[in-house]
Structure 1
Amino acid sequence: MTIKETLISFMKEPAYNPMTIEELAIVFDIKSHEYGAFKKTLKTMEDEGLVVRNKNNKYIVPGRVGLLTGKLQAHAKGFGFLIPDIEGEKDVFIPSSCMNGAINGDKIQVQITRDDLSGKKREGEVVKILERNTTKVIGIYQDSKNFGFVVSEDTRITQDIFISKKDRNGATEGDVVIVEITKWPDKRKSPEGVIKEVLGKKGDKGLDIVTIIRKFGLPEEFSKKVLKFAEQIPETISEEEYKRRVDLRNIKMVTIDGEDAKDLDDAVSIEKLEDGNFKLGVHIADVTNYVKENNPLDKEALKRATSVYLIDRVIPMLPKKLSNGICSLNPQVDRLALSCFMIIDHKGKVLDHEIMESVIKTNERMTYTDVTKILRDNDEELIQRYDYLYEDFKTMEELCSILRNKRTKRGAIDFEIEESKIILNEMGKPIDIKPYEREIANRIIEEFMLVCNETVAEHMFWTKLPFVYRIHENPDEEKLAKFKEFIYNLGYTIHWKEEIRPRALQEVLEKVKDKKEETVVSTLLLRSMMQARYAPECIGHFGLAAQYYCHFTSPIRRYPDLQIHRIIKEHLNGEIDGTRANKLISIVDFAAKQSSERERVAQEAEREVDDLKKAEYMQDRIGEEFEGIVSSVTSFGIFVELPNTIEGLVHMTDLDDDYYIFDEAHLTLIGEKTKKTYKLGDELKVKCVKVDIPNREVYFNIISRKNDEEEVQEDSQEDNNNNEELLLSSEEELIIDR
C-alpha cells in the first residue's frame, strides 16, 4: 500500500479526528529527514482533491465535510453535473450560478448544498478546480475593431473566449479555429486565448467532421517516425517463419466482410466430420509479428488503442502498410496468422480446441451481401461462381444456427436495436439514411467470432497468466428496478430472487419480439446495462451470459486483441517465466485501462458524427411528415424515433392541447384535463419543424397518433353502421306500408 493509500485509509476510519500535519507526522513516526517528503505528499493529495484542510488547518477526507471530487459534465444551458470519482456515488446537480469558472471536462471539488431528499437530486457548488482538462477549444472566430472572440463549437462551453489583436494569427471573421486557453475564467471574467490554427471557413467540404476529430483529440496522421518504421517492414514472409509455423495453405478458407472493408483481419474455415461434429477454424492476422512490444508501431497503436470509423473515413490504429497491406488477409496471398481450431458438437459445445501460429492463404474475399444472396436467395449465378465453396457456406449456416440456439438457451441477451447506414454524396452531404441490415452472413461471422473469443479466453484463464479480458458487469440495480417496474406496467414480469440472471432478461425480449413495444423495451433494457470494458480480471460477460470472454479476433483495429496475441504466442513458445509474468501484470493493466478509455472517446466521436449527419439530413426535410414511435419520455417532452433511426424531440411547450404531467414511474405524459397520455411505444405521425445543427438536435410536432386515428375510424364505422340501420328500418317501414 502506498503512503497516499495508507493516509486515506487512516483518515476514513470512523474513530479518526482531523489532525494537523505535525500530529499526523507523530502518528506515522515520520523522521525529521522524511518530513519534507511527507509534507509534499500531503500537498499533492490536497491538490488532487484526495484530502482537504478544515478551518483549523487539520486534514480530513472530503466526504466527511460534504465535499465530493469528480469530473464536470456541463450542459449547453449553463448548468452541469459532477460525475463523482467514487464508484456508486450519485451525480450532483450544479446550477449555472454555482459553476464558478469551471468548464466542461474539468476535475472539480464540489460542496454539497442540498442532499438527495424527497426525490430531488442533490445539488452542489464548485469550490475548487483541481485540474483543467480542456486546454484547446474549436470554435468560430468573430472579429471586432480592437479585439476578437471565439464562440466554441462545443455548446457545453458556454463562455466566449477573448482574443487580443496580437493573438488572432491571421484569423478572419467566420473562420473555424483552434484556440489555446491562456487565462481561465472566473466568476466574472471570460477565458482568454491565442489562436493556434485556422482550419477553414464554416461550410467547407469535410470541415464539419474534421472539427469533430479535433474536438475529441483523435490523431489524424501518423508521425514520420512511425511511417518510416512501417515502410521498412518486408513484404515477404521469411523462410524461418514458414518453417516454424503450421502450414494451413491447403485448407479452404474465406474472409467475409462488408463491401467497403479493407482491413481483413479474420478468415474462417469449416469441415463436417464423419461423426457429425464440426471443425471450425478461425484464422486471425498475426499483427504482432510486425508490431513488436515497444517498437514505434506498438507505442502508437497503444496510444490510439482502436480504429475510429466516421462514416466516410477511418482513423486507423495502424498505418495502411499494415492494416490494408501485409496484415490484411487478402485472397490468394500467403499471410501469417494465429489460428484457433474448435471441434463443436450438434449442441454447440466446444469439445476440443487447438491454438497455433500458422501460415494461411485465403481462397476468396467474400462480402456479406454475396454470401447472403447465396444462402437466403439461392442466387444461381453466385452459387455457380462459388460452387467449390457452396457446401461450406451451407455448413457454416447450419453451425451458426446451432451456436445461436446454444447462446439463446443459456440466456445471452440479443438486442435487436437498429443501427443506421448513412450515405453521403461526394460533397459529404447525407442523401440517404437507412437501417443497417444484419443478415445471415453477418450472423455467421458474429457467431464464429463469439465462440472463438470465448474459447481463447477460457484457454488462457486456466494458464493463470496475466491477460486482457472483455468484461460486462451485472446491470445497475436502481436502473434495473425501474425497468422491472416499467415492463410490469406493460404486463410483463421479470423473475429473480437474489441475483439477476441474463436468462430472465432474455425471456422478456423474447416475449416482446415482433410486438409494437419491442424497440422500446430493448432500448430501455440496454440503458439499464453497464458498459462493457477491458480488464485484467475475468469476471464474465453478463450480456453474452459467458463465464469467459476476450477480444481475440481484430488485432488490426483493437489494441487488446493485439496485446493478447502477444501473450498467447509467448505462452505457446514457452517464453513466459516468473519475471516476464510479473512484468505482464502492469502491461495488461495499463492496456486494459487505456483501451477502455479510448474506446469511449471513439464511440462518442462516432455518435456525434452520426448525429450531425442525421441533423443535416433532416434540415432539408423541414415541413415533411413522418411516422415514428415514442422512444423516450422525459419531463421536458417526448422523443420520437423514425424507422431510419433518426430521433427528434417534441418539446413539452409544443404539446399545447393540454397541460401534461410527467409520470416518471410509468415514463408517461398525462394530460391534466383530457387525461390523454403519451407513453413509450406509441405510434405517432409527426412533422419536422426545426433542426439545430450545432446541438445536433431535431424537433418534431405531432400531427396525429395512431390510436386517435383508429378511434376516429371506429367512430366513423359506428356512424356508418348507425346510418345503415336507419336506412334498413326506413326500408322495412316502406315494405310494411305496402
Structure 2
Amino acid sequence: MKKNQQTKKRKKIVYDLICCKEYQPMRAKDLAVLLQVPAGKREELHEILDMLLKEGKITVNKRGKYEAVRGSKKEQEKEEKKGKRDKKEKKKKETQKYLIGIFAGHAKGFGFVELLDENGEDIYIPEEETGGAFHGDKVQVALKKENKPGKRREGRVIKILERGTREIVGTFQESAGFGFVVPDNQRFLRDIFIQKENFLGARNQDKVVVEIRDYGTRKRSPEGKIIQVLGNSEEKGIDVLSVAKSCGLPMEFPEKVLNQAERIRESLNEGDFYGRLDLRDVPMVTIDGEDAKDLDDAVSLSKEGNLFHLGVHIADVSNYVQYSSALDREALKRGTSVYLVDRVIPMLPKKLSNGICSLNAGEDRLALSCLMDIDEKGKVVSHGIAETVIHVNERMTYTDVKKILRKEDQQLAERYRELLPMFFQMEELSALLRKRRKKRGAIDFDFPESKIELDENGKPVRIYPYEQNVATRIIEDFMLAANETVAQEYAQAGIPFVYRTHDTPDMEKMEPVLELVHRAGVKVKKSKEEIRPKEVQKILKELEGKDSEDFFSRLILRSMKQARYTTECTGHFGLAARYYCHFTSPIRRYPDLQIHRIIKENLRGKMTEAKMSHYEEILDEVARQSSAMERRAEEAERETVKMKKAEYMESQIGETFEGVISGVTDWGLYVELPNTVEGLVHVNSLMDDYYVYDSAHYTLTGEKKKRSFAIGQKVKVRVAQADARERTVDFVLAD
C-alpha cells in the first residue's frame, strides 16, 4: 500500500514537470538529471514514464523526447485564459521596485539573483519565473509583495538586460544532418542545437566549446556554433580542461600581458633597495607545501624575555604590477589563482609568480613586511609596516617542520640546526595566538581537505584526507595576526581599503539548525537574538567526539553567510575579529595586491585627497569583482574534485568499505568513506522493506524490520556504481 502511494506521488511529480509551460521536451536521461534521480536507480524513472505513456498522459516525439499530450482546442483556450488571469494576479502581488542582479541557475530549474546594488540575501526565483534567463545573465527582477520579514525574498525575472554566457562547454552529440551540445555545467538546462555547417570537425562525444548565436524561446532550443574542439573526453586532462572552460576560467594570458611580464628584470640591483628597510641579515624562512612554486610569504621570529618579535614578510608584487597596466587589468579580471586537481591557473604569468615575485631561498627580494611585537598572552602590543628588502635562508615544507618539531627525523634536525630555536619559538607563539583567538570566540571548522593523487595519464590513483599539522597551524596563525594588524591600522586611520568580512548569520537560517543540534543532545542556548561566535564555538566543543560531529559542523557552516570582500570594515564573524583583511597573498589574490598599493602610498606620504577619492571610486568594484571570481574559482575546484572522486570510485565498483552516514534524505542515505568520498545508498536498495524518512531527526526507519539509520552511524557499503560525468557515486549496504 505504501509503495503504491510512493509510486503515485512520483508519477505526479514527473507529470507536473512535463506539463509545466516552461518545460522543454527532453529525453529520459535529461529528466533523470533534472529530477536528481541517482544514476543506479534510473530504471524507476523509466517505469514511471512507461505508466504515463500507457495512461495516454504523455507521448514521445520523433527525437525521443517526452511531451505532454495536448487536450482539445476548447481546453487549450481555457488554459490560456486561466494563464492570463494568473499572470495579472501575480503582477498585482508584486511591488513596483525593480532590482538588478546576476542570475545563478540551478540544476533543478529554479535560480537565485545576486543583487549588484545592495547587500543581503539573494532573491529566490522559482522555475516558472526565470523568464528564459541563463546562468550568469544580468537581469531585472521584481520582488513579490507577500515577502515576509525574515523569510527569503522571492521574485521573478522581468527582463534580461545582458547575456552573461556567450560560450558553453559540453559534449557533442551528432545526429543525421544536425547535432546537439549537451552542457557540462548542469546549471544550463537546455541542449544547444548545432547545424551541420557549424560542426567545426567535431566528432561524436567530443568535448567542445560552443558559441551561442540564438538563446531560443520556450518552444525552440538555443542554437550555436562550435568554436573550439577540446578533444575526446578520454584524452588526458580534457575532463579538467572542460570544467575550467565551463566555469569561464581563462586558460591563456593575452600576448600583451605576456610581453609586459617578459620585460620585467629577473634580478635586483642596489637602486631597487633605496628607501627600504634592509632585513637581509634577519634569519627567515618560507614554509609551504612540497609542490608550491609561488612563495609569497616568509616569516622571521626572535624572542627577548617574554616579548616575541614576529615578522611576516610578503612579496612586493605591486612593485612589478603597476595600476591599470595590462598585467593589472588581467589580474583584476582573474581575481585569484585557481588550484585544480591537475593544474594551477595563475592570476599572474609564471615569469612573475614563480620568478621575481616568489620569495625563493638564497635570493634578494622586495617585500612589504608587518613587524609585530607580541606579549606572553598573544597580544600584539606594537607593530610597524615597512617596505623592505629580504633574503630567505631556507625553503621549508610543512612536512619537514612538523618532523623537526615532533623530533621524528634526527637528520633533518641536524641539517637545520641553526634554525631549530626559531622553529620551537614559532610553535610556542602559535599556541599563544591560537589560545587568545579561541578565548575571544573564534570558530575553528577543522575539516580535512581531500588530496587526490593522479598518475601520468591524469587518472586518480589515491584519495586521502589531508589534515592540518603543527606547521600548517603556525603559518595560519602568523598570517591571521598580520591580516588583523594591517586591517586595524587602516580602518582606524579612515583610509579607503578592501576588507575581508563575514557577516553575522541570519537567525531564521540558524534557528532550525540549533533545534536539530538540541535534539541531538547538545546544550544550545536558543534565542532569536543574534548568535555570537563564542556560542557557536561552545556548540562545536560539545559536538566533539560524537558520531554526528562532522554532519552538524557542516550544517552549522552552511547556515552561515559567505565571507566576501567589502570596503566597509564590518568584522569577521567566524574569526570573532573586529578588523580583518587579506594582506598576505598578493601573487594569487587581487585584493591583497590592491591594498599593498594603498599601504605603499600611505607609507610614502602620498595619500592625498585626490588619491583618497581615486580609491573610494574604484574599490567597490575591486571588492565585487574579487568576491565573484573567488566564488567562480571555488566552483571549479569543487567540481574537479567531485569528478575525480567519482572517476576513482569507478575503479572500485564491487569493493566494500566501512563509512559513516553523513546525510539522510527521503531518497536514501549519504555515506562518507574515510578517504572523503561520499556516495548515496538509495532507499530502494534497502532490502524488501518500506522506509519512512523523519526530516526532524534525520533518520530513515523500516516499517517491517524496524531498522533505523541515523546521522553518524557506521555502516559497511559496497560500491554499486559511479559516474564521473555526473559526479555521482552509488553504494549499497554490505551488511
Give the TM-score taking structure 2 as reference length: 0.83
Q: Which moved more, 1:148-157 or 1:599-608?
A: 148-157
Tell whether the 8 Å contact from 1:482 to 1:665 is kept in structure 2 after alignment: no
Structure 2: how far apart are the matches of 1:461 and 1:72?
33
2:631 matched to which residue of 1?
600
2:98, 2:714 → 1: CA distance?
46
Structure 1 position 105, deviation (Å): 3.8
Does residue 589 (structure 1) correspond to residue 624 (structure 2)? The answer is no
Partner of 1:502: 533
Q: 1:115-140 deviations in whole A, cap 9, x for unaligned? A: 799xx999987665454332212122
Q: CA deviation at 1:371?
A: 0.5
In 2, Cα distance between equivalents of 1:338 and 1:141: 50
* TM-superposed deviation, 1:299: 1.1
Distance 2:114 2:623 in 1: 21
Aligned position for 2:163 = 132
| Equivalent pair of 2:95/2:143 in contact (CA under 8 Å) | no
Q: Tell me the residue number matched to 2:82.
A: none
The 8 Å contact of residues 94 and 124 in structure 1, kept in 2 or not, is answered as: no
Q: CA separation of 1:510/1:121 partners in 2, compared to 1, >3 Å: closer, same or farther?
A: closer
Is 1:322 paired with 2:355? Answer: no
Matches within 5 A, 1:337-486: 337-486=367-516
Paired residue secondary structure (2:126): strand
Instruction: Kindly provide the CA deviation profile for residues 319-340 of structure 1, in whole angstroms up to 9, marking residues without a partner as x.
Output: 1111111011111111001111
Distance 1:73 1:242 in 2: 48
Q: Match for residue 524 of structure 1?
A: 555
Mapping for residues 550-699 of structure 1, pairs under 5 Å = 550-699=581-730
> Are residue 93 (structure 1) and residue 123 (structure 2) matched?
no
1:675 positional shift: 4.5
- The 1:592/1:142 distance shift into structure 2, 3 A limit, reads same
User: 2:133 & 2:499 partners in 1: Cα distance?
Assistant: 36
In the alignment, residue 587 of structure 1 is paired with which amino acid?
A: I
How far did 1:160 drift?
A: 2.5
Deviation at 1:64, TM superposition (A): 1.9
Unaligned runs of 5+ in 1: 1-53, 705-738
Secondary structure of residue in 2 paired with 1:493: coil
Q: What is the letter of the counterpart of residue 395 of structure 2?
A: R
Does the 8 A contact of 2:660 with 2:712 survive in 1?
A: yes
> What are the within-5 Å matches in structure 2 for residues 256-267 of structure 1?
256-267=287-298
Task: Give the secondary structure class of the aligned counterpart of 1:503.
Answer: helix
Partner in structure 1 of residue 22 of structure 2? none
Which residue is equivalent to 2:272?
241
Aligned to 2:48: none
Which of 287, 301, 308 matches 2:317?
287
Query: What are the residue-to-residue correspondences of 1:160-175 with 2, within 5 Å?
Result: 160-175=191-206
Cα distance in 2 between the residues matched to 1:361 and 1:202: 46
- Per-residue CA deviation, residues 588-641 of structure 1 (Å, 9 max, x unaligned), is 211111110000000000000101100100011111111111222233322111
Matched residue, 2:578: 547
Match of 2:246 among 215, 221, 229: 215
Which residue number corresponds to residue 726 of structure 1? none
Query: Aligned with 2:173: secondary structure?
Result: strand
Specify whether residues 563 and 121 from structure 1 end up closer, same or farther in structure 2 by C-alpha distance, changes over 3 A only.
Answer: closer
SS of 1:222 mapped into structure 2 = coil
Task: Map 1:26-175 onto structure 2 (within 5 A).
Answer: 63-64=94-95, 72-76=103-107, 79-83=109-113, 85=115, 87-88=120-121, 91-94=124-127, 101-107=132-138, 128-175=159-206
Equivalent of residue 512 in structure 1, options 517, 526, 543 = 543
For residues 189 and 415 of structure 2, what CA distance do their matches in structure 1 show? 60
SS of 1:549's equivalent in the other structure is: coil
The letter of the residue matching 1:268 is V
| Contact 1:114–1:123 (CA under 8 A) maintained in structure 2 | no
Aligned equivalent of 1:535: 566
| Map of 1:724 onto structure 2 | none
Gaps of 5+ in 2: 1-84
What amino acid is aligned across from residue 510 of structure 1 in structure 2?
K
> Does structure 1 retain, via aligned residues, the 8 Å contact 2:372–2:383?
yes
2:93/2:145 contact within 8 Å kept:
no
8 Å Cα contact 2:94-2:144 kept in structure 1: no
Judged with a 3 Å threshold, the aligned counterparts in structure 2 of structure 1 residues 388 and 572 are, in CA distance, closer, same or farther, namely same
Cα gap change, 1:65 to 1:678, in 2 (>3 Å): farther
Q: Determine if contact 1:82/1:110 at 8 Å carries over to the other structure.
A: no
* 2:221 pairs with one of 181, 187, 190: 190
Cross-structure match for 2:210: 179
Q: Supply the distance in 1 between the matched residues of 2:300 and 2:494 (Cα, whole angstroms).
A: 30
Report the Cα distance in structure 2 between the residues aligned to 1:196 and 1:156, rounded to whole angstroms.
21
Between Structure 1 and Structure 2, how many residues are aligned? 643
Contact 1:113 1:123 in 2 (8 A): yes
State whether residues 332 and 364 of structure 1, in contact with CA within 8 Å, keep that contact through their aligned partners in structure 2: yes
State the match for 1:273 in structure 2.
304
Q: Is the 8 A contact 1:627 1:683 kept in 2?
A: yes
Report SS of the residue matched to 1:564.
helix
More displaced 10-residue stretch of structure 1: 423-432 or 167-176: 167-176
SS in 1 for 2:661: strand
How far does residue 411 in structure 1 lie from its aligned partner after superposition?
0.8
Query: Using a 3 Å threshold, how does the CA distance of structure 1 residues 126 and 328 change in structure 2: closer, same or farther?
Result: closer
Instruction: Specify the structure having the higher radius of gyration (Cα).
Output: 1
Deviation, structure 1 residue 454: 0.6
Structure 1's 602 and 122: CA in aligned 2 closer, same or farther, altered over 3 A?
A: closer
Determine which structure has greater relative contact order: mean sequence separation of CA pairs < 8 Å that are 6+ residues apart, divided by chain length: 2
| Equivalent position SS for 1:235 | coil
Q: Distance in 2 between matches of 1:653 and 1:121?
A: 34
Counterpart Cα distance in 2 of 1:386 and 1:200: 48
TM-score with structure 1 length normalisation? Answer: 0.82
Distance 2:701 2:126 in 1: 26
> What amino acid sits opposite 2:683 in the alignment?
M
3-state DSSP of counterpart to 1:580: helix
Q: Quote the residue 1:226 is aligned against.
A: 257
State the one-letter code of the partner of 1:513: E
SS of 1:280's equivalent in the other structure is strand
Closer, same or farther: CA 294–73 of 1 in aligned 2, 3 Å:
closer
Q: Match for 1:653: what amino acid?
A: N
